[in-house]
């Protein structure tokens, strides 16, 4: 059975972490006959830069339909302005609220 995984690399080291984790998941799928379908979406500062929103509706919709979500990291010095009205961490807070989540597994 195909498992749909949404990848949210986010910002900074998150991009590298999600890429490395996908490599591991690809190897796991190949060695154990698993079927993963990956869909990459935006969150955090990367989403602000590309779309002006820390959690675009397309990203949230993809997450709602996924079997799993892999989130990298959100934020960084580039977006660290306490006066900014739109901040990367707002994406994390919105996805938690929208999906009824309260904890991150690290």
CA 85 distance to own-chain centroid: 21
The sign of the CA dihedral 73, 102, 41, 49 is negative
Q: What is the pLDDT of residue 64?
A: 98
Alpha helices, H only, 33-88:
44-51, 57-64
Q: Name residues whose C-beta falls within 8 Å of residue 51's C-beta, 6 or more positions apart in sequence.
A: 42
The whole model's pTM is what? Answer: 0.94
Element (H, E) at 6: strand 2-10
* C-alpha distance across the termini of the chain, in Å: 26
pLDDT tens across 23-73, in order?
999 999 999 999 999 999 999 999 999 999 999 999 999 999 999 999 999
């Amino acid at each position: 059975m195909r498992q749909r995984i949404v990848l949210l690399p986010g910002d900074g080291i998150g991009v590298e972490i999600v890429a490395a984790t996908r490599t591991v998941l690809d190897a796991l799928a190949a060695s154990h006959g698993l079927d993963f379908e990956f869909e990459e979406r935006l969150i955090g500062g990367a989403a602000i830069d590309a779309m002006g929103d820390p959690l675009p509706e397309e990203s949230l919709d993809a997450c709602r339909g996924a079997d799993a979500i892999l989130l990298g990291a959100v934020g960084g010095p580039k977006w660290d302005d306490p006066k900014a009205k739109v901040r990367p961490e707002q994406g994390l807070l919105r996805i938690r609220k929208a999906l009824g989540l309260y904890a991150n597994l690290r």
